[in-house]
Amino acid sequence: MTDLIDLVARAGLGGRGGAGFSTAIKLRAAHEHRAMVVINACDGELGAAKDGAVIAHHLDEVLAAANRIAADNVLIAAHRGSDTLARVQAAGVEWLEVPNRYVASEESSLAALAAGGHARPLMRFAPITSGARDAAGRSIGPTVVFNAETVWRIEQIVRRGPGWFRSYGTDEEPGPRLVTIGGAVCRPGVYESSAGVSIAHLLDLAGGLAEPSHFLWLNGAGGGLLPVRAARSVRWSRAGLGPHGLGVGPAIVHAVPAHTDIWELVAGVVERAGAESAGQCGPCVFGLPALAEALDRVIGGRATVGDRRLLSRRLALLHRRGACRHPDGVAGFVDSALRVAAHLLPPPVRVATEAGVA
């Protein structure tokens, strides 16, 4: 196992699930704590499809890498009723059936589910790598969660070497990586690329735009919006997307058709995010519905200047308050929309004041 950890460290593999955390560090944690390993193949983010593609086309390599990591102590997690789960079950490997709820595939939710509890996130300060307890006090053994693509890349590194892996991408974000490209493109699907290419290059992989588009929606409910006009100048990397409040994340690029009302899309995402929470923390139970209500007033043209300030305050209250990062991601998504599409909102309603008309 030590040789595998060193090999992956030299390759510089970061997790492909969204956070980009060092895979070598997670492998070391799995080894030191004799942890259960859960391979996340849920495609849990809105618009994601690459986990399913990995299981459909590279399951043998995923299983080979899983055997190197933890042998008989591995589960592959997939959503209930999905083609991915059916493929895993047909392969005769240990599997974890995950409820079709947004936060159910968050890594601590998977750890809780694998331990026989509910698929709900643990408090963010409760590390799962060395063991934890859920909200009901149930013990959760040491657990390490890897994204399905990450595990596939581990096997590629073993077979082809760190040098091959580093020949793709950038020094900071090396290696090939999958990206789900959808929306108003000619050939929606999962494609292989690498960090450092232009966003326009990604669109070209999918045949380019099939119809006019003004905005690109990156990385689902935890991502944000980017004007299409920036596609040729902005690089698909942490450095390129960072100034726009974005990152490579779970690698989803969705070209929003020009006929789509961008603020109706944003409102729909916020509403869905509130409906699919675990219902265990105030920021999700109360904060997301309050955000949706404030946003509805602004979009509907019923908001005063004070209402717009209220929207900003409610966004600020969502950051770093919940058990998981679900409300943080949604708040960031709305912040992103306000940065690039505020000009499409109705003007504030003018209201009478004691001094006259505001």
In the chain, how many H helices and how many E strands? 14, 13
Question: Helix or strand or coil: residue 116?
Answer: coil
Q: Which of 74, 64, 85 is nearest to 153 (CA)?
A: 64
Out of 43-57, 112-126, 150-164, 247-261, which region has the weakest mean confidence (pLDDT)? Answer: 112-126
Tell whether 202 and 121 lie within a shared domain: no
355 or 39: which carries more pLDDT confidence? 39
Instruction: Give the pair of three-digit tokens for residue 275.
Output: 């409906």
Mean per-residue pLDDT over the chain, rounded: 89
Note the pLDDT of residue 346: 82
Out of 9-23, 293-307, 320-334, which region has the weakest mean confidence (pLDDT)? Answer: 320-334
Note the pLDDT of residue 309: 84
Report residue 144: phi and psi, to 5°.
-125, 130
Note the pLDDT of residue 219: 96
pLDDT band at 330 (very low <50, low <70, confident <90, very high): confident
Residue 221 and residue 84 in contact, taking contact as beta carbons nearer than 8 Å: no
pLDDT band at 278 (very low <50, low <70, confident <90, very high): low
Report whether pLDDT(281) > 90. no
Tell whether 302 and 158 lie within a shared domain: no
Tell whether 155 and 184 lie within a shared domain: no
Q: What is the CATH number of the domain that holds 85?
A: 3.40.50.11540
pLDDT band at 76 (very low <50, low <70, confident <90, very high): very high
**Structural domain of 206:** 175-257
Cα separation, 299 vs 262, in Å, equals 10
Note the pLDDT of residue 125: 53
Domain count, the chain: 3
Report residue 204: phi and psi, to 5°.
-65, -35
Tell whether 199 and 250 lie within a shared domain: yes
Report whether pLDDT(97) > 80. yes
Tell whether 42 and 81 lie within a shared domain: yes
Domain boundary residue among 111, 131, 163? Answer: 163
Residue 353 lies in a domain: no
Residue 96 lies in a domain: yes
Tell whether 187 and 282 lie within a shared domain: no
Report whether pLDDT(72) > 50. yes
Note the pLDDT of residue 355: 40
pLDDT more than 90, % of the chain: 65
Report whether pLDDT(356) > 50. no
Question: Helix or strand or coil: residue 352?
Answer: strand
Residue 276 and residue 103 in contact, taking contact as beta carbons nearer than 8 Å: yes
Q: What is the CATH number of the domain that holds 329?
A: 1.20.1440.230
292 or 254: which carries more pLDDT confidence? 254
Domain boundary residue among 226, 257, 288? Answer: 257
Tell whether 36 and 129 lie within a shared domain: yes
Report whether pLDDT(238) > 90. yes
Report whether pLDDT(123) > 90. no
Note the pLDDT of residue 151: 98
Out of 68-72, 197-201, 287-291, which region has the weakest mean confidence (pLDDT)? Answer: 287-291
Residue 170 lies in a domain: no
What does pTM read for this prediction? 0.91
pLDDT band at 280 (very low <50, low <70, confident <90, very high): low
Note the pLDDT of residue 220: 94
Tell whether 158 and 229 lie within a shared domain: no
pLDDT band at 153 (very low <50, low <70, confident <90, very high): very high
Residue 185 lies in a domain: yes
Report whether pLDDT(350) > 60. no
Tell whether 73 and 150 lie within a shared domain: yes
Average pLDDT over residues 339-343: 92
Domain boundary residue among 163, 194, 214? Answer: 163
73 or 160: which carries more pLDDT confidence? 160
Residue 355 lies in a domain: no
Residue 204 lies in a domain: yes
Tell whether 244 and 276 lie within a shared domain: no
Tell whether 244 and 274 lie within a shared domain: no
Please provide the distance, in angstroms rounded to a whole number, between the alpha carbons at the two ends of the chain. 69
Residue 352 lies in a domain: no
Residue 350 lies in a domain: no
Question: Which range has highest mean pLDDT (97-111, 115-129, 180-194, 298-312)?
Answer: 180-194
Tell whether 101 and 213 lie within a shared domain: no
Report whether pLDDT(152) > 60. yes
Average pLDDT over residues 34-43: 95
Q: What is the CATH number of the domain that holds 199?
A: 3.10.20.600
Cα separation, 313 vs 334, in Å, equals 12
Average pLDDT over residues 337-350: 84
